[in-house]
Structure 1
Amino acid sequence: MTDVIVLGLDGATWDVLDPLIKDGRLPNIERVKSNGPSGTLESTFPPITAPAWLSMATSQNPGKTGVFYFLNREDPDSFEFESVGSDKFHGQSFWDVLLARGYDVGVFNFPMLYPPYSLGENGFMVSGLGSPEDDTITTPNNLKSELDEVADGYEIKVPYADPKYRGRPGKLESDLQGIVEKRERAIEYLLTEKRPDVFFGVISATDWAQHYFWRYHDSSHPLYEADGDADYDDAIGRLWERVDETVGLVADIAEREDATLLLVSDHGFGPVNKTFHSNAWLESEGFRVPTEQSPVQKLRTNYFPYLRRFVEPVVTAIPQLNDLAKSVGKSIRGSPGEAVDWDRSIAFAPKQNLTCGMIYMLSDDPEDRKAVVNTLSELRDTDGNRLEVEVYSPEDLYDGSNVKLAPDILFTIDNFACAVDPRFSTDDEFVTTGPPSAARSGGHRMEGIYCASGPNIESGGSADKNLLDIAPTILYALDEPIPEVMDGNVLKDVFTDEALSERSERREPLENLVEANIGSTKRDTNAVEKQLEDLGYI
């Protein structure tokens, strides 16, 4: 019998869901929401897939996990970046505690959880975003072939930011609808045939759809065209209707099993109306000094944005050139860190900070950091209007032994409505109108969602929570001890009085609760970077 089911809806926000619920278009999400407590689930900072899902699984803030984006340092004295892999989860996640205590646990399509590792004889793990499209994404190994059969060819991702979808919203919508169908078939098979005690599955297509289709959905967006193709102004709504069918299937299974059901998201969503080009700005202020460059390097830095503008329409017209264009582009564009004069520069921005701003200081002088922060705080747009810039130190946001690995300066502009792009632009301005690319017209926000229902769950109620609370709440629901390292709180107010009387909250050292001798895993950072580029994350 399955006791707990958690369904992750990547990027879900009440800003999108509530109007659809009001219109009667999401009856199953409405059913779960009305049967128990619901509210906003605060994300990690930044509200990004990699740190957020990891922190949800481990209930550890990024200062402990050392994960602040998709690529992270492992040494505070180095600017070598590594991708996130399953070694960050292994031995730290709630499912590792349950495994050690005899539970059969199933984890499905969980982002950055690659390579998968064993969850015991009857458990299973299916890696999600950050995994290759091959047969190495499951444990047990033969589960991949089973998923291929039930899903008519299982797939990891739809690369919505790939140039092949530029100007082809209909093709993208069809592919997103298709991958949700595959996810649903896989989830139904795993829940009904494998029947784990605890199941945590993630649907990612909701995130990809909102990135791409926000400009069709939001009439106030800079890229919205009032006289444009109206067929796609409801593409987000249609995808959510399809996902609602999956929620209904899962909710029905939860009811049959008398299981606790949680719907959660890793972050929320909203428009991206502007773009701030961080490295160009740092250079203009004298904080970042470029190296002396060869003609090829100058081409990379100065002319790649123009080349990208020229090539993308060509690829749109001739999709067969897509792979060649991506290969050539990768070979010539370089990365923002390659052209930095490390000795003369004070600061630089890494290549992956599209949601919030990240700056690494190359100077140890506190006055230099103060100068960067003060100048950044005075930032204005092209019309001279002061931008809403919020600047943070790592110590403001995190605690733990890995705070030292965080960027030295983190910031948001206009509450994430202005993206921060380290790449150089064809525009002379540092703040430009519109998103970094049309495929990222929507962006992440801090406010995700949660709903809870089940026989041990109170009916109704609403309160804001934190995603760090999910893992300890799952353990508490099963009356199991909670690792002391977990930062989150048990959501006791979601349980009935009877359920509370039958459980006790107990905290114990992590090493007492998980299996010892956990090995390390090998990650292919280059392969992960390619996938992240296809999804527009770096």
Structure 2
Amino acid sequence: MGSKILVIGIDAATWSVIDKNLDRLKTFKMLKDSDDFNRKTLTLDQKPYSAPCWASMFTGKTEEEHGHHEFVINNEIQTRKDIKADFIWDILDREGKKVKALNVPFIVPPYNFNIEFKAPGMGVPTTRDEWDAEIEKVTKKSIETLEKKELDLFITCYVSLDKIQHMHWGGSIVDEYYEKIDEAIGKLLRFGEKIIIASDHGFCAFGDAKVQTLPKVTSNGSKLRGDHHEDAILITKGIKKEINNLRDVFKAVKEEV
């Protein structure tokens, strides 16, 4: 079993951390060295905010077109119903394709399609236990799903790196969790005939960010060390369409299914 197209989203994954740690990131090293995979930097043409970036990736629309700007607006948490746009899974499902999506973080808690899943920390993991649980449970649920049924499209996402890097950018714990993500995606690759691995944005030191997505000091008094960068990662296998922006992920999947 498996999926004709497997999309793995890694919130905030950035080449600057991956490339300096290739000696300990066995999966990313293999993906770089293999002739079967292509990798590139995907420089955003929109502000590097996670909510609209993930929405653009899976609707094929600009932020202005899909109208989803923030996780919370006027003190109200946004839900799928607040977004007046079709996502790739909506379209393919109507066409009779077999589609599932797991833990897609364009809303909080992350969205699931045709699958039951409760994200640790409501999709905003803030402790080591929640980071570990998210990686473990997303990987386990992904494997269980892919082993049960042949799918046309399976999307799965990890969010922990974003939270870790905001608080610990430059620290050894960041490298540690890249290793855990590396191991996790290594368990999933065998299930995909065609593969897209992408982040919604990259990451950098807080002072180097062109757009500050969060205040320097959080509500509990903690100081942020990192923030979003406009250079996202992209790795593909068997995808014919050239992907030059987040919206092209939607278009590539639509063409390949």
Q: Same fold (TM over 0.5)?
A: yes
Deviations 1:190-220 (A, max 9, x none): 1112442200111001111111111xx2xxx
Confirm or deny that 1:8 pairs with 2:9: yes
In structure 2, the residue matched to 1:349 is none
Cα 1:14/1:191, change in 2 over 3 Å:
same
Count of residue pairs brought into register by the alignment: 251
Cα 1:446/1:139, change in 2 over 3 Å:
closer
Q: Distance in 2 between matches of 1:208 and 1:32?
A: 25
Indicate the structure (1 or 2) with the bigger Cα radius of gyration.
Answer: 1
User: Which of residues 109, 112, 123 is equivalent to 1:157?
Assistant: 123
Deviations 1:112-156 (A, max 9, x none): 45xxxxxxxxxxxxxxx336xxxxx7666xx54xx68xxxx9663
Letter in 2 for 1:436: V
Q: Distance in 2 between matches of 1:16 and 1:105?
A: 32
In structure 1, the residue matched to 2:86 is 92
Letter in 2 for 1:238: E
In structure 1, the residue matched to 2:247 is 468
- For the Cα contact (< 8 Å) 2:44–2:230, is it kept in 1? yes
Q: Distance in 1 between matches of 2:125 and 2:12?
A: 16
TM-score of the pair, normalised by structure 2: 0.85
Point out the structure with the larger strand share.
2
Structure 2: runs of 5+ lacking an equivalent: none
CA drift of 1:29 comes to 2.0
CA drift of 1:69 comes to 2.4
Alignment of 1:331-346 (within 5 A): none
In structure 2, the residue matched to 1:415 is 210
- For the Cα contact (< 8 Å) 2:102–2:112, is it kept in 1? no
Q: Distance in 2 between matches of 1:155 and 1:194?
A: 28
- Partner secondary structure for residue 55 of structure 1: helix
Deviations 1:315-342 (A, max 9, x none): xxxxxxxxxxxxxxxxxxxxxxxxxxxx
Q: Distance in 2 between matches of 1:53 and 1:47?
A: 10
Q: Distance in 2 between matches of 1:270 and 1:464?
A: 23
In structure 2, the residue matched to 1:19 is 20
CA drift of 1:250 comes to 0.9
CA drift of 1:260 comes to 0.3
Confirm or deny that 1:130 pairs with 2:109: yes
In structure 1, the residue matched to 2:27 is 28
Superposition RMSD in Å: 2.8
TM-score of the pair, normalised by structure 1: 0.43
- Partner secondary structure for residue 151 of structure 2: coil
- For the Cα contact (< 8 Å) 1:32–1:251, is it kept in 2? no
- For the Cα contact (< 8 Å) 2:206–2:224, is it kept in 1? yes
- Partner secondary structure for residue 40 of structure 1: strand
Deviations 1:246-278 (A, max 9, x none): 111111222xxxx101100001101113xxxxx
- For the Cα contact (< 8 Å) 2:104–2:112, is it kept in 1? no
Structure 1: runs of 5+ lacking an equivalent: 73-79, 114-128, 132-136, 161-171, 218-232, 274-412, 422-434, 479-538
Confirm or deny that 1:453 pairs with 2:232: no
Q: Distance in 1 between matches of 2:158 and 2:45?
A: 19
In structure 2, the residue matched to 1:440 is 224
- Partner secondary structure for residue 465 of structure 1: coil
Cα 1:158/1:59, change in 2 over 3 Å:
closer
Deviations 1:434-483 (A, max 9, x none): x32435321111111100014x669xxxx9821111000111112xxxxx
